[in-house]
Amino acid sequence: MKREDSIISAESAKRKVTASEVFSDPVHFFAFGFGSGLSPFAPGTAGTLAAVVLELPMRQLPMTVRIGILVAVCIAGVWLCGESARRLGAHDHPGIVWDEFAGYFLTMLVAPAGLVWSVAGFALFRVFDILKPWPIRDLDHSIPGGLGIMVDDIVAGVFAAIGLLLLAGLVPVMGA
């Protein structure tokens, strides 16, 4: 990416998106996590909180259905996030949080039952999504379009899931 392109992209990412834009356009509505990405403070965290609300009742579903939902969220997310970014003129506008839904849903596939594990999954996913340790940061910067927006959160979800599995093995009393 040329320096001029990155400056334009950075400026576009700062562009304020209005609630009327999000709620009047189905692409933005879903990409902005049903409006949660409009949060003026930490939209990724707000999007993940919205994902928590959706994921809790999903816990009652069979694992095959939960996996199917995750796959559908990921496939739809590549297009939704890419199209929303294209319309906004920004690679990964901070308000696009559908990728947080995918990453959190993936994290929670391995979580033991209990609210403590939902909180632990939330915290671990946010840490990996925010800090973006290798290879997450490289993926975030090297893959264009909707796939690039989605893949770093999916990998952050894998890292967070591994963290949950380690916690579950080391601290079994937390699931009680």
Which tens digit of pLDDT belongs to each residue from 15-46? 789 999 999 999 999 999 999 999 999 999 99
Buried b / exposed e over 159-169, threshold 16 CB at 10 Å, is: bbbebbeebbe
7-11, 13-17, 23-27, 140-144, range with the lowest pLDDT: 7-11
Calculate the CA 110 to chain-centre distance. Answer: 17
Cα–Cα distance, 104 to 112 (Å, whole number) = 14
Angle, CA 106 vertex, CA 103 and CA 107 arms, to 5°:
85
The residues near 167 (Cβ < 8 Å, ≥ 6 apart) are 120, 174
Q: Which residue has the higher pLDDT, 97 or 176?
A: 97
pLDDT for res 172:
58
pLDDT of residue 7: 35
- Binned at pLDDT 50, 70 and 90, residue 102 comes out as very high
Q: Is the pTM of this model over 0.75?
A: yes
126: amino acid identity, one letter: R
For residues 78-91, give the mean pLDDT. 94
Place of tokens 């403590």: 116
